C-alpha cells in the first residue's frame, strides 16, 4: 500500500462534497473494478431473488428482505475495493474477493451483532433507532479495513461518531435516499423502455403497483457500490476529525520514504 499516493486529498469534508466525490470516484478510478465485481456478485443475486419471486412464489416483501441482506454482505466487497484503491493500489476483482473472503466470517458475525443491536433499539416504538443506527454506520470499515473483531468493530464505529450523532444520522439518511433514488430511477427507465418504447405493457410488474419489479431490484443492487464508496469517504472524514488521520498518514508516508532512501543507500 502506497501511503504517499492517496487518490484523494485527506481532509474534513462536508456531506455534499462527500456525496459528489463518491460519484466521481465511482465513475472514474473505480469504474472498471466496480463493473467487474458487480457482474460477479449482482447478476447471481438478482437471478436468485427473481427465482424466489417467480419460481418459489415469495412475496415482494420477502424478496426485498433477502435482497437487503445480500446487499449488506456485498457492501463489504466494495468497502475492501475502495479502501485499497484510495492508496492507488492496483487491484483485480479476484484479489478483492480473496481479501474479502479472509475477513468473511468475522464480517458476518459483526453484521449479525450489529443488526441485533438495531433490532433491540427499534423495539420501543423505534425511539432508540436514531441514536443507535449512526453509531453502527462504520462497522463495515472497522471490520474489513482495520481487521477488528466483531465487538471491537462496533466499539470503534461508535467512538468515531461520538459527539457527531446528528451529523452522521443526516449522512445515513442521505445514503438511504440515494440508494432508493437509484432504484427508482432504474424502475422508471426500465418501465419506459418496456412499456412506452417496446409497447409491451408491464409484464414484469411495477414497483408502485406490486411492491417490486426486476428493474427496481436491479437498481437497488446497482446502487450498492456508490453507497459503499460514500460511506467509506464519510468514514475517512470521521477518522480525520477524530484521530487526525490525515496527519498520521503524512508522517507514515514520510517515514516510508526515508526507509526507502536508507535501503537504497
Mean predicted lDDT score pLDDT of the chain: 86
Q: Which of 125 and 171 is assigned the larger pLDDT?
A: 171
Q: What is the pLDDT of residue 257?
A: 53
Measured between alpha carbons, how far is 153 from 144 in angstroms, rounded to an integer? Answer: 9
Which among 139, 142, 143, 135 is positioned nearest to 161, based on CA atoms? 135
pLDDT in tens, 58-72: 999 999 999 999 999
Q: Is residue 58 part of a domain?
A: yes
pLDDT higher than threshold 60 for residue 248: no
Q: Is residue 63 part of a domain?
A: yes
pLDDT higher than threshold 70 for residue 103: yes
pLDDT in tens, 69-98: 999 999 999 999 998 887 666 789 999 999
Q: Is residue 231 part of a domain?
A: yes
Q: Is residue 120 part of a domain?
A: no
Q: Is residue 101 part of a domain?
A: no
Q: Is residue 74 part of a domain?
A: yes
DSSP string, 163-218: T-HHHHHHHHHHHHHHHHHHHHHHHHHHHIIIIIIS----TT--HHHHS--HHHHH
Q: What is the pLDDT of residue 133?
A: 92
Question: Domain residues for 254?
Answer: 15-90+164-264
pLDDT in tens, 6-53: 556 667 788 999 999 999 999 988 999 999 999 999 999 999 999 999
Q: Is residue 96 part of a domain?
A: no
pLDDT in tens, 18-30: 999 999 999 988 9
**3-state DSSP call for residue 73?**
helix
Measured between alpha carbons, how far is 165 from 59 in angstroms, rounded to an integer? Answer: 35
Measured between alpha carbons, how far is 247 from 220 in angstroms, rounded to an integer? Answer: 37
What does the block give as the cell for 56?
A: 418459489
Q: What is the pLDDT of residue 93?
A: 93
Sign of CA dihedral 92, 94, 97, 98: negative
Q: Is residue 249 part of a domain?
A: yes
Q: Which residues contact 128 (CB under 8 A, 6 or more apart)?
A: 120, 121, 122
- The domain total for the chain is 1
* Contact indicator for 114, 152 with CB cutoff of 8 Å: no
* Contact indicator for 197, 18 with CB cutoff of 8 Å: no
Amino acid at each position: 500500500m502506497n501511503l504517499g499516493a492517496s487518490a484523494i486529498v485527506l481532509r474534513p469534508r462536508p456531506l455534499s462534497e462527500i456525496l459528489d466525490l463518491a460519484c466521481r470516484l465511482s465513475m472514474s478510478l473505480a469504474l472498471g473494478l466496480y463493473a467487474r465485481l458487480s457482474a460477479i456478485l449482482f447478476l447471481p443475486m438478482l437471478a436468485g431473488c427473481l427465482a424466489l419471486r417467480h419460481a418459489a412464489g415469495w412475496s415482494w416483501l420477502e424478496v426485498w428482505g433477502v435482497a437487503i441482506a445480500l446487499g449488506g454482505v456485498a457492501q463489504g466487497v466494495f468497502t475492501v475495493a475502495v479502501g485499497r484503491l484510495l492508496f492507488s493500489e492496483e487491484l483485480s476483482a479476484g484479489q478483492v474477493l480473496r481479501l474479502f473472503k479472509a475477513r468473511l466470517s468475522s464480517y458476518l458475525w459483526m453484521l449479525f451483532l450489529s443488526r441485533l443491536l438495531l433490532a433491540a433499539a427499534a423495539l420501543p416504538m423505534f425511539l432508540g433507532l436514531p441514536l443507535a443506527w449512526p453509531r453502527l454506520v462504520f462497522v463495515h470499515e472497522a471490520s474489513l479495513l482495520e481487521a477488528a473483531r466483531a465487538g471491537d468493530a462496533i466499539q470503534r464505529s461508535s467512538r468515531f461518531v461520538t459527539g457527531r450523532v446528528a451529523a452522521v444520522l443526516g449522512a445515513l439518511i442521505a445514503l438511504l435516499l440515494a440508494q432508493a433514488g437509484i432504484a427508482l430511477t432504474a424502475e422508471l427507465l426500465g418501465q419506459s423502455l418496456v412499456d412506452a418504447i417496446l409497447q409491451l405493457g408491464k409484464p414484469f410488474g411495477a414497483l408502485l403497483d406490486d411492491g417490486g419489479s426486476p428493474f427496481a431490484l436491479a437498481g437497488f443492487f446497482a446502487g450498492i457500490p456508490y453507497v459503499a464508496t460514500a460511506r467509506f469517504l464519510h468514514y475517512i472524514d470521521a477518522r480525520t476529525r477524530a484521530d487526525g488521520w490525515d496527519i498520521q498518514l503524512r508522517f507514515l508516508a514520510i517515514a516510508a520514504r526515508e526507509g526507502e532512501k536508507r535501503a537504497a543507500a
